[in-house]
Structure 1
Amino acid sequence: MHADISAPAGAQASTGGRTPTVIRLLVLATFVVILNETIMINAIPRLMTDLKVGERSAQWVSTAFMLTMAAVIPATGWFLQRVTTRRAYAIAMGVFLFGTALSSVAPTFAVLLVGRVIQAGGTAIMMPLLMTTLMTVVPEQDRGRVMGNVTLAISVAPAMGPVISGLVLQIASWRWLFLLVLPIAGVVTWLGLRRLENIGEPQAGAIDVSSMAFAALGFGSLVYGLSKFGNGNVAAPALIIAAGVALIAIFAWRQIRLQRTGTPLLDLRILLAPTYSKSLVLMAVAFLAMMGSMILLPLYLQNLRGLSPLQTGLLVMPGGLAMGLLGPTVGKIFDRFGGRVLVIPASVGITAALAGFTQISLTMPYWQLLGLHILLMASLAAAFTPVFTLGLGALPMHLYSHGSSMLGTLQQVAAAFGTALVVTVMSSRATSLLDSGTPALDAHLGGMRLAFAVSAALSLLVIVMAVLLPNRAPAMEHAVSMDELEDATPQLVKD
């Protein structure tokens, strides 16, 4: 038995141009839960006052969410193979609702932190569940269009989080950030359980506890170490990152050994598909660029241009909306013409936008900033839909859940790395300029310009990967059988 939720006979019949109900419900649920990853960013000052904590402690409401996602997502590939679609959905949304309710009434910061961790545990399941189900029930000729709709959940939700929180915090307490989400998530959960159908049959198999430990500690340590860069202390984060990398290496070795028995927590044979591996690299660097801009632009607009958090959110909102609204159109183009006509121009657009941001100044017109941000977000939208579809489409069906899990894990690592990179480069450059006598505003501006320049240089790798990607998922990769993958496992172990 190979597949988690292998499609039953006829599951991939033509959708007739309509998005399956199961996907619509999962997209809606995923949007609601992912929104919470960034919704607390603007609430840090309020938390410091209301719960009497310092800034570094308050930052943990976002850090803990990201760490939990990084620790839990590697296990979702195994989990989704062991439970039905309805049960996975019920568990994910039930956990999320409990975490949201607990956070809304948290009497202390410690309780709020526990609530955020529980929230993240439910969120971590939803994204792989959505991607795996999509790849299972939607036929290849319709996947681009349907995946384009998924862009709304995975890209617009994080961008909308700060905007929504800015609006709410103008008139209400930070607790309303949870109280407003609670009934919406409750209705979405009820709709899903009422109309969701199971896709295929779950697979039996015990979980490897040591793999769980190595994954949680390894990816958690890596993301935590990256999040600590830029605070002036390099040695401690570097040690934490090194420990995380070592634990991930042990985790990888353990998975390769377990592949012989067919019960790995995260099946690394997905990396044997070249198109999937290239898609991973492109997605990671593009996501890094997106997160870097999400960090740098608010700092620039608020600290150097004097805008409020709400004004900042409204300025970057058009880019996020453009990204989501373009998703369905991008998907239709992909279904008709393939990936290269989208991914190659998109990769050039990403680099051009980041290069444009290197020219920011204290007087740069806001319309130019808006234009560059929309170009970046639109380019990312044109890249993500084909890359996700090509990458997962290159895998055999029984590895969809593991491929989705790897994509989600790498997104979290890329987000943490992107944040650490831009903050470290910006801080180092600004400090160097200050030491040389440069005025404070100019020094910080110089730091931001260099950080954008480094991001632009890294985005050149996106162009390279875009050129190397095929127009469609190669037929030979579709035909990879379990036997062929098992034949490759001893060589992986030997290597």
Structure 2
Amino acid sequence: MSVPAGSPAQAAAGDDKLDSGVLKVAGVVVIGAIMSILDVTVVSVALPTFQAEFQATPATVAWTMTAYTLALAAVIPVTGWAADRFGTKRLYLMSLALFVAGSVACSMAWDIGPLIAFRALQGIGGGMLMPLGMTIMTRAAGPERIGRVMAVLGVPMLLGPIGGPILGGWLIESYSWHWIFLINLPIGIVAFILSAIVLPKDSPSPSETFDFLGLLLLSPGLALFLYGVSTIPEAGTVADPEVLIPAAIGLVLMIGFVGHALRKDHPLIDLKLFKNRNLTVAVITMSLFIIAFMGSMLLLPSYFLQVRGEGTLDTGLLLAPQGLGAMLTMPIAGRLTDKIGPGKLVLTGIVLISLGLGNLTQVTDDTSYVRLLGGLFVMGMGMGMTMMPIMSAALATLTDHAIARGSTLMNIVQQAGGSVGTAVMSVVLTNEVKDRPAATALYAVQQGLATPEQVGGDAVVKVAGPAALADAFASTYVVAVVLVVLCIIPALFLPRKRIQRTPEQEAESPVPVALH
């Protein structure tokens, strides 16, 4: 339960360490977040299986990923208002129920159309889990320990990209594709029961008028923009009408939302939050970082699969050093963020990531795995010192009422940045492959578009092709390094000492939760 301000329980909660009550809340929230994030990546390894199972084209099957992402993006803007209106606990439980129901429905899909529709249902539930989890944990820990609590929430963000391909590959190889969805049922039931018991009781704010016009502008605008951007790799150019038309309409709707939000008293996303300098700098830094880092991370599995010929399960395991590096630095960064501010940590993290990515600009088709995995470990260490301290900088000085809106805003930035980064890196890689005939020939064979004999025989497929394709990856990573280095500019403006809150912010800050 909540404790009154000034009580011994609150004093204990304000100590450096996270107390058992906050850790219980964190554990429950992490379970839900892991499910949501894992499901983004776990399905990626099942796309070839869906093609064979439902006799669908690659473009159609890709909608199982796109539908989830777009539903996720469309529902995130509503989360801040809904959390204030109905309470975070009730909304979190409803989101878990929706996500699990969508998962079970996906496992029962009889054709590709229903599967895509059920994935959208999953995305509606999954889209609210992460911003709600951030809000619940920030309120539970209080502003003084936001760095530590963000470090805990960083765990599922790491496990998703690393564990998703491993889990998906194992379930499909050992059982069937249905289990990549059914596994969410027992985990979801456990998460629901624990959430109902552990999460603090709701205290919803007085109801504000719902911003229907804002919803009609922002949610479709964000979804259309991300759809257009996510179509770039398939279209091969930004100038394609399938990219330009939805992206332009989405951009116009989002610009319309900005004008609307600046005039309205209680908009769907409160743009007055940008008056907070820390949040503004954090949003700019996070945008650049997500575009650069997340985009480049999607290239690694492709390198191991296409150039080195590794299997899905082995590829997932080869990515593990990145997660290990992050798990080493993330708890330390969480503690230090609360003590010395995020600025120095983020700058150090960006340097480490740049070094790791710089190593990948030299990859060939026979680069030592020791060198590759060592570089991934360094990159992971950098990520552990970067993403969550940026998030902490954004939320540390927000008042209780603004936390849900701030969490929502940061999740929109992550979603949009990840989509833009994926599209940018995919287009760069595609163009690099096209510039190398041997790489193009190998890619055609791997996609089943040609036989080895049609492209020059084994000499191309086994020798020239892998070397040329590796060179294409290396050149693409040069772009990634440049984008990461650019993150240094806004990161220089992040606080480089402990973030101080004003008396007004302290008066309105969330009371830490002590549960026994």
Q: What TM-score do the two structures reach when normalised by structure 1?
A: 0.90
CA distance in 2 between partners of 1:283 and 1:477 (Å): 24
Deviates more, 1:243-252 or 1:460-469: 460-469
Kept after mapping to 2: 8 A contact 1:349/1:375 = yes
Kept after mapping to 2: 8 A contact 1:92/1:126 = yes
Map Cα deviations across residues 64-106 of structure 1 (whole Å, 9 max, x no partner): 1111111111121111111123211111111111101101111
Map Cα deviations across residues 324-368 of structure 1 (whole Å, 9 max, x no partner): 454223212323333234212111111121222111111111111
> Aligned pair 1:271/2:277, yes or no?
no
Kept after mapping to 2: 8 A contact 1:284/1:410 = yes
> Aligned pair 1:413/2:438, yes or no?
no
Match of 1:468 among 483, 487, 493: 493
Residue equivalent to 2:96: 93
Kept after mapping to 1: 8 A contact 2:439/2:466 = no
> Aligned pair 1:183/2:186, yes or no?
yes
Match of 1:239 among 245, 253, 258: 245
Kept after mapping to 2: 8 A contact 1:276/1:392 = yes
* Residue 437 to residue 106, structure 1, CA distance change in 2 (3 Å): closer
Kept after mapping to 1: 8 A contact 2:434/2:440 = no
- Counterpart of 2:139, as a letter, is T
CA distance in 2 between partners of 1:316 and 1:385 (Å): 20
Shift of 1:157: 2.4
> Aligned pair 1:68/2:74, yes or no?
no
CA distance in 1 between partners of 2:89 and 2:248 (Å): 39
Deviates more, 1:115-124 or 1:431-440: 431-440
Q: How many residues align?
A: 475
- Counterpart of 1:457, as a letter, is V
- Counterpart of 1:205, as a letter, is E
> Aligned pair 1:312/2:315, yes or no?
yes
* Residue 436 to residue 391, structure 1, CA distance change in 2 (3 Å): closer
Shift of 1:27: 1.9
Kept after mapping to 2: 8 A contact 1:287/1:415 = yes
- Counterpart of 1:250, as a letter, is G
Residue equivalent to 1:252: 258
Map Cα deviations across residues 43-69 of structure 1 (whole Å, 9 max, x no partner): 011111112211111111111111111
- Counterpart of 2:492, as a letter, is V
* Residue 110 to residue 472, structure 1, CA distance change in 2 (3 Å): farther
Kept after mapping to 1: 8 A contact 2:333/2:385 = yes
Give identity over the alignment, percent.
28
Residue equivalent to 1:431: 434
Kept after mapping to 1: 8 A contact 2:224/2:249 = yes
Deviates more, 1:389-398 or 1:439-448: 439-448
Kept after mapping to 2: 8 A contact 1:226/1:416 = yes
CA distance in 2 between partners of 1:109 and 1:14 (Å): 53
Match of 1:456 among 446, 460, 481: 481
Residue equivalent to 1:3: none
CA distance in 1 between partners of 2:273 and 2:3 (Å): 19
CA distance in 2 between partners of 1:8 and 1:111 (Å): 50
Match of 1:283 among 281, 286, 291: 286
* Residue 282 to residue 168, structure 1, CA distance change in 2 (3 Å): same
Map Cα deviations across residues 287-315 of structure 1 (whole Å, 9 max, x no partner): 22332233211111111111111111110
Residue equivalent to 1:445: 470
Shift of 1:121: 0.9
Residue equivalent to 1:490: none
SS in 2 for 1:123: helix
Residue equivalent to 2:384: 381
Shift of 1:437: 10
Map Cα deviations across residues 124-152 of structure 1 (whole Å, 9 max, x no partner): 11111111122223133322222211111
- Counterpart of 2:134, as a letter, is M
- Counterpart of 1:230, as a letter, is P
* Residue 108 to residue 248, structure 1, CA distance change in 2 (3 Å): same
Q: How does 1:391-402 map to 2 (within 5 A)?
A: 391-402=394-405
* Residue 57 to residue 255, structure 1, CA distance change in 2 (3 Å): same
CA distance in 1 between partners of 2:289 and 2:10 (Å): 30
Residue equivalent to 1:339: 342
Shift of 1:375: 1.3
Map Cα deviations across residues 111-130 of structure 1 (whole Å, 9 max, x no partner): 21122111111111111111
CA distance in 2 between partners of 1:443 and 1:239 (Å): 35
Kept after mapping to 2: 8 A contact 1:30/1:126 = yes
Deviates more, 1:331-340 or 1:169-178: 331-340
> Aligned pair 1:200/2:196, yes or no?
no
Map Cα deviations across residues 9-40 of structure 1 (whole Å, 9 max, x no partner): 46964425225132331122212222111110
- Counterpart of 1:247, as a letter, is L
CA distance in 1 between partners of 2:112 and 2:10 (Å): 48
* Residue 199 to residue 332, structure 1, CA distance change in 2 (3 Å): farther
Map Cα deviations across residues 390-449 of structure 1 (whole Å, 9 max, x no partner): 111132332111110011111111111111001111111221333999954444333322
Map Cα deviations across residues 194-251 of structure 1 (whole Å, 9 max, x no partner): 2222253333023222221211211111111111112235322133222211111011
* Residue 155 to residue 472, structure 1, CA distance change in 2 (3 Å): farther
CA distance in 2 between partners of 1:451 and 1:429 (Å): 7
Q: What TM-score do the two structures reach when normalised by structure 2?
A: 0.86
Q: How does 1:117-136 map to 2 (within 5 A)?
A: 117-136=120-139
Kept after mapping to 2: 8 A contact 1:85/1:197 = no
* Residue 420 to residue 436, structure 1, CA distance change in 2 (3 Å): closer
Kept after mapping to 1: 8 A contact 2:305/2:312 = yes
* Residue 376 to residue 452, structure 1, CA distance change in 2 (3 Å): same
Deviates more, 1:239-248 or 1:93-102: 239-248
CA distance in 2 between partners of 1:230 and 1:435 (Å): 20
> Aligned pair 1:55/2:55, yes or no?
no
CA distance in 2 between partners of 1:436 and 1:124 (Å): 38
CA distance in 2 between partners of 1:436 and 1:332 (Å): 46
* Residue 385 to residue 13, structure 1, CA distance change in 2 (3 Å): farther
CA distance in 2 between partners of 1:145 and 1:251 (Å): 34
Deviates more, 1:459-468 or 1:52-61: 459-468
